[in-house]
Amino acid sequence: MTRRELREQIFLLLFRMEFYQKEELDGQLLFSSEEMGSSDADASYIQDKVDAVVEKADEIDEIINGVAKGWKTTRMGKVDLALLRLAVFEIRYDADIPGGVAINEAVELAKKYGTDGSSSFVNGILARIV
């Protein structure tokens, strides 16, 4: 899988977390991996990244809440929130990914999965964080 495809799968799992219990996520990862035909290495990378984002979720939400004027993570759309969490993780905790790349990828995924205003919303929040 390409980095973009890996990131999309990570986002989809983070989004699914809003609707499934933690214990059910392994089944979701297995389903996602089989659906995409990903290798064991790709599945391991996806799982590790999802686990890392989940581990830092409270800190990430504090960062988002600190810059989101008039919005709190509890009021945000689930697509936007999952994208923001992933991008903030990449910006703050993943030295291998430049901030500009994290923002661009999140905006592109927001265009694909979000509402009409999602890409602007995600871009605005992330621009305040960088």
Mean pLDDT of successive 10-residue stretches along the chain, which has 130 residues:
92 86 62 62 89 94 94 94 98 94 97 96 95
Q: Does the global pTM surpass 0.95? A: no
d(CA 2, CA 84): 21
Amino acid 76: pLDDT: 95
Amino acid 34: pLDDT: 57
d(CA 101, CA 33): 24
Domain boundaries defined on the chain:
3-129
Amino acid 43: pLDDT: 84
Q: What is the CA angle 94-62-73, rounded to 5?
A: 105
Q: How many helices (H) and strands (E) does the chain have?
A: 7, 0
Amino acid 69: pLDDT: 87
Q: Which CATH class is domain 3-129?
A: mainly alpha
Helix (H, G, I), strand (E, B) or coil at 96: coil
Assigned token pair, 97: 């990914």
Amino acid 1: pLDDT: 86
